[in-house]
Structure 1
Amino acid sequence: MSTRTTPSPRISVLREVLPRLLGTPGALPDDWDVQATTYDLTRFHDEATFAERFYAVAERLLAEKVEAPEQVRELLASCGLPYDYARLGQPLSTLFEMWVAAESGASHVVSFASRTKPYLTVIDAAAGPVRVFAEGTLPLSEGRKARLREKGATLHEGHRGPIPAGPEGTLTVYVAEGGYTPDLMTLEVDAVCYSVFEGGVLLVRSSRIDVAAIRVLRKRTAGSLLASSALVELRRVAGLSAPVDLPSTTPAECDALLRSLFPEVRDALYFCTGLAAEAAVFEAVAEEVGEVTIFYAQNGYGGTGQLLGDILPRTSAIRPAPLPVLDRDAEGRTVTLVERVVRALPSLGGKAACLFLEMPTNPELQLHDFDTLMAALRAYRDAHGVTIPVLVDTTLAPLYPLFSQPFAQGWPFLCVKSGSKYFTRGKATLGVAFSADEPMALSIMRRARTYGEDMDTLARPAQLAAALGGLSGLRPRLARVAEKTRDLAGRIERAITARGKSVTLYHVSEEGMAQGLATGLLSFYLPPAPTTAPDLVDEFVEHLLTTAPTLVKNRVSYGQYAGEHRPDYVYVINPQESTQGSLSAETKAAQKKDNVQICRISVSEGADLDALVRAMEAFFDLKYGPAR
């Protein structure tokens, strides 16, 4: 490893351009706003390409003395958006990483929405032992420190003076007590960690550190530095004195609104991302019951699949058990996920298990037969004395009254979900976990809280403020969105059948609506037709983006709300290229129908359905002929 690095010549460009970008009202594109959480899939570049495009724009801004905000916005928008496998990057956090890289000369810079994850991910990603030398005391529980030592990490807290050479094959990480100083880059270590506003930074100095693995761990268990936090740091380094006016609230205020929707809730936790919430709860279950088999849908959200199927089993007592949501048995009969779970219970032999269920499922929007499931789980407890907790993800239907259902009484149910959709209306990333008063569920929640504190992944005040705004008025807003979604589903079905074709379309029925499963999502399979695109749904999405650019975005999220006096887009995607990107090719292929991938649509409250359906019908005319 190098003992000293030098700043990049590009630091002078950043020092000159940042005050102009951040100090000029209206100069940043919408995608650069601190409230932006989802982005056009067609505009991503890898991080190196994004950096080159940004520096080219920056040098042009300086050379041509461009000052008009609208011109600056247009040029910055031409940079595209930063992407790597493990992150759909927020431009501000990426720009902050670029600043740190230029200032420090580090080979790689990885920012986190956590002060502890920079060094914890190095330990988790390492193939061998890791030494951590901390200038101060590591803000970890004694239980967490003990587990790190069990994994072979050595922790040296309150360290002063030179760092001794370590054994061959050992990584050495230094954790500074304060912020960045150039002296940190003179240390004989593989990596340096330091804290910033509401987060932390990892400076990689050695090729022995697997940066790609660390980025995957960041994406699936925490997140990059929040855009609002990055803006604070960027304004600081740019020398702008005016503080960033960030909204703020407390968990208690969010709890009060949550209980107004779900009176049975007794404990709630808020995390920086939905995956951070899942990681905390899954780990808490394993701590609660020991070695545990977790059943989950194999074609659900790809991030959850990667977290359960690959990441957590390396460091915890979790055994992944992915199952099809809908499948056919040898006789051709449809078999549901619940039926698969019930059939698998005897093979456990009395060992611990846990269920993670999306309700409704994504993307098929299927409802689960909880009565059948609970009968089997209670029989398993009677036979073996083992209680199987059930985790339910209601992200798609945020008002589903899980804890008031008769089947949930007296059983450890927990709700764990992304709050980045309907809870914050897409204005901030957020993860949420909550439970009623069942003792095991409350114990799991306590363990998840400790985990979140150790990982420093609990939500920041600005994220909580976004949740407070989204929870207010959620019930009437979602009712309007759901009704509009059912209207669109009917129009799509009628338009395709009018052309002599049948369509497989999934949306929440009136029965589901009555059960509290209102959602703005629908999914359907286009009837097969010739295409030169990788998949017919890709051609469909491209057609809508081309013919209805003011109505449609190719974005992965849902629950979106642009805000007053701004266009409310409909999001249309091929899930296998976005939310299911990390799933296996076999799983994605199995989801196809007649060799056509499923299409998912997220309807917004202000969407212009008349214009949208006209654009869709033009595609149907092209592929299936005019309506008869």
Structure 2
Amino acid sequence: MEVDKMLNCITKVIEHMPQDWLNLTTHRLDIYNEELAKVQFLYQFIDLAKEGNSDVAALSNLPTAYDYIRLGHPLSCVLEWVIGNLNGLPAEQVISFQSKTAPVLAILRKNHLEHRNTLITYVNELPGSFDLNVLKTVYGFSFELKKIDDPVNVDSFDGSTIFIAQQDEISKSNLASNIDFYVHMYDHLGSVLMVNGDENKKFISDIQHFRRRETVAMTPANCLSALQSLVQGTSVENKNHHFAEHKEKVHQLIREICGTTTNPLVASSGLSIQYAIMMGLVDYALENYKDKAIKIVVPPNCYGGTNDQARRVAACSDAIEIVDLLVDGDNDMVQSIDTVLGQIAKEDAIPYIIAEIPTNPRVEVPDLQKLRAVLSAKRKTASGGEALDPVFILDQTFCPNVHFLGDDDILSSVRTISFASGSKFPSGGKCTAGYCIANIKGEDLMNKIALHLDLCDNEATDLQLEILAQQMPSMNQRINDAYANTREFVQFIAETLPAAKINFVSDELAEEGFTPSVFSLDLPTKGNTPEEREAYKRKMNDRLIHLMITEIPNESKYCVSYGQLKGCYWTIPATSTQGTTKEDDKDYIARVSLSPNMDLERHKEVFIKFVESI
């Protein structure tokens, strides 16, 4: 498309775009084809652009783009298409990041795994957080570094050549054939990566996966600022006027909600903070226990992001091994932890345990007294020495209001780091920012985590912090109200379809403070063989979900969302949150999450309709 026509089109799109593009983590969940999620939005948007159609209705009817903001969203797709057009590149060869350093890390990671050389060239200076020693010693990345005046003058290199430039405006670049990757960093916006040359297209999928698992795409607000800068021909504006104020307020709210006094960290997403935790603990281990193996203990059927990211971290180092922790169904978390820690102790290795409480998708809570005992137990190595105590990394996304960390709380004697995904209850689905905080016993670990959060440039943006500051004061009340809806719906299903197996917290656990608003549903099945019974159950899952989202399109959505401000969300974990989990560990059951604001009676009516149909 001609540049002038394109810029005129984008000007109108900015004026008419749906507010959901800017204000929600996912647009139009009711128009979502998972197999086409990476292309469907942009293909249809380009058709509108060619027609010169920027009507509000037409833009509103475009389908979901990617998934959440981690991998992409409408405005990031538009921005990448525009920059691609300016530079003669297909949109898929342009990838935006909220982080300035993440695109470089993504390329370094792929080249590290494939034993390919990397040359990083730059003008002026590198970002202050770009710690070269840590990248080599902790991440295991190898690269050469060269300061240059002009990328055109860079000699050919046996490997990948990256050019980094600090920019203050979005504009056309003169792409040189000897540069494989252009990384343009924008002080207040993030970065844009351009993949140059057909031979480098093989990197795209891995770079996008890095964006999905270790960071996020450039946020909607910052993409909008970039597009405005482009069409207006102005420098990028710094809108972070109240960062310190919002940050301090959010930190105080996190301390109050978690019942501890230590200093938290807030990242651009739940997986961004988890990546900082992982790499911070690896760094801590390498510095303090140089000759010991690192064991990351993680449930094989936990949601895909945690499972996949842990394995990605381990893949980059021979010193790190993944150990499966069986926690759901017939497996008891406490017993499994005891078994695993006993084996790790014999090997004189370093145990880092990641676990969700309640578990996902079975919504189970272990005996907390026994959990504390097994985590605190003294163990011996094979040679009779004292084994290292574990670090317990607790995913509290389902119940962020439960106190585990205070001086009188259940895990006060265990080195514990709690984290939560901010796209759930903390923000009500308005942003992706996530946070972590340690108890007193684990406080000394936080400096390393902070270092890696900074190195990856994954700290939450000012707007994300502002949203959390607005939403978190009402979080506990929203949790209570959503739980009340969920308990009522669960009881209704149990009475209406008693043959169904419902996984939800007991009344006793709810009295202890575990009040999630998510449950899983094993529908009754039939068949002569296990295969037939499983196939029938999956068919019923799909029928129920389709009926709900069809009959109640304004409220029921097909998504893994949790803690949203309104509506009801349905999914099958094995095909969404467990998308990267090993097939044998997948759990093909329906998962349902309710909000504090929904038409519960209407949902009951539709469920009765489903029961009558089977």
Q: What is the match of residue 53 of structure 1?
A: 44
Q: What is the match of residue 304 of structure 2?
A: 302
Tell me which moved more, 304-313 or 178-187.
178-187
Q: What is the match of residue 505 of structure 1?
A: 502
Aligned with 2:191: secondary structure? strand
Q: What is the match of residue 144 of structure 1?
A: 134
Task: Decide which of 95, 106, 110 is 1:125's aligned counterpart.
Answer: 110
- CA change 1:11–1:384 in 2 (3 A) is farther
Q: Is the 8 A contact 1:38 1:555 kept in 2?
A: no
Question: Structure 1 CA distance, aligned partners of 2:301 and 2:518?
Answer: 17
Q: Is the 8 A contact 1:86 1:215 kept in 2?
A: no
Show the 5 A alignment for 1:76-475: 76-83=59-66, 89-107=72-90, 108-126=93-111, 127=114, 128-139=116-127, 140-147=130-137, 151-157=141-147, 163-168=153-158, 170-179=159-168, 181-186=171-176, 188-196=178-186, 197-206=188-197, 207-208=199-200, 210-239=203-232, 249=243, 250-290=246-286, 291-315=293-317, 317-327=319-329, 334-348=330-344, 349=346, 350-381=348-379, 384-404=386-406, 406-438=409-441, 441-475=442-476
Q: Give unmatched runs, 5+ long, in structure 1.
A: 1-8, 67-71, 328-333, 562-567, 592-596, 624-628
Q: Which amino acid aligns with 1:100?
A: I
Aligned with 1:428: secondary structure? coil
Question: Structure 1 CA distance, aligned partners of 2:510 and 2:233?
Answer: 50
**How big is the shift at 1:162?**
5.1
Aligned with 2:428: secondary structure? coil
Q: Which amino acid aligns with 2:208?
A: R
Q: What are the Cα deviations for residues 163-203 of structure 1, in whole angstroms up to 9, with x where unaligned?
A: 443443x1110001225554441362111101134210110
Residue 605 of structure 1 pairs with residue 596 of structure 2: yes
Q: Is the 8 A contact 1:217 1:311 kept in 2?
A: no
- CA change 1:611–1:84 in 2 (3 A) is closer
Q: CA RMSD in A?
A: 2.7
Q: What are the Cα deviations for residues 409-444 of structure 1, in whole angstroms up to 9, with x where unaligned?
A: 232111022111100111111111101222xx2222
Q: Is the 8 A contact 1:397 1:519 kept in 2?
A: yes
Question: Structure 1 CA distance, aligned partners of 2:562 and 2:139?
Answer: 41
**How big is the shift at 1:398?**
1.1
Q: Which amino acid aligns with 1:339?
A: Q
Question: Structure 2 CA distance, aligned partners of 1:457 and 1:413?
Answer: 22
Question: Structure 2 CA distance, aligned partners of 1:365 and 1:413?
Answer: 21
Q: Is the 8 A contact 2:325 2:340 kept in 1?
A: no
Task: Decide which of 13, 33, 43 is 1:21's aligned counterpart.
Answer: 13
Q: Give unmatched runs, 5+ long, in structure 2.
A: 287-292, 528-534
Q: Is the 8 A contact 2:298 2:354 kept in 1?
A: yes
Task: Decide which of 1, 25, 29 is 1:36's aligned counterpart.
Answer: 25
Q: What is the match of residue 582 of structure 1?
A: 580
TM-score normalised by length of structure 1: 0.86
Q: Is the 8 A contact 1:573 1:599 kept in 2?
A: yes
Question: Structure 2 CA distance, aligned partners of 1:369 and 1:520?
Answer: 20
Aligned with 1:177: secondary structure? strand
- CA change 1:135–1:370 in 2 (3 A) is same
Question: Structure 2 CA distance, aligned partners of 1:97 and 1:527?
Answer: 46
- CA change 1:262–1:359 in 2 (3 A) is same
- CA change 1:317–1:420 in 2 (3 A) is farther
Question: Structure 2 CA distance, aligned partners of 1:49 and 1:109?
Answer: 17
**How big is the shift at 1:254?**
0.7
Percent of residue pairs identical: 21
TM-score normalised by length of structure 2: 0.88
Q: What are the Cα deviations for residues 276-319 of structure 1, in whole angstroms up to 9, with x where unaligned?
A: 11111011112222431111111111011111123443158431
Q: What are the Cα deviations for residues 566-605 of structure 1, in whole angstroms up to 9, with x where unaligned?
A: xx311111122221112222222xx3xxxxx311111111
- CA change 1:204–1:212 in 2 (3 A) is same
Question: Structure 1 CA distance, aligned partners of 2:30 and 2:580?
Answer: 15
Tell me which moved more, 605-614 or 578-587.
578-587
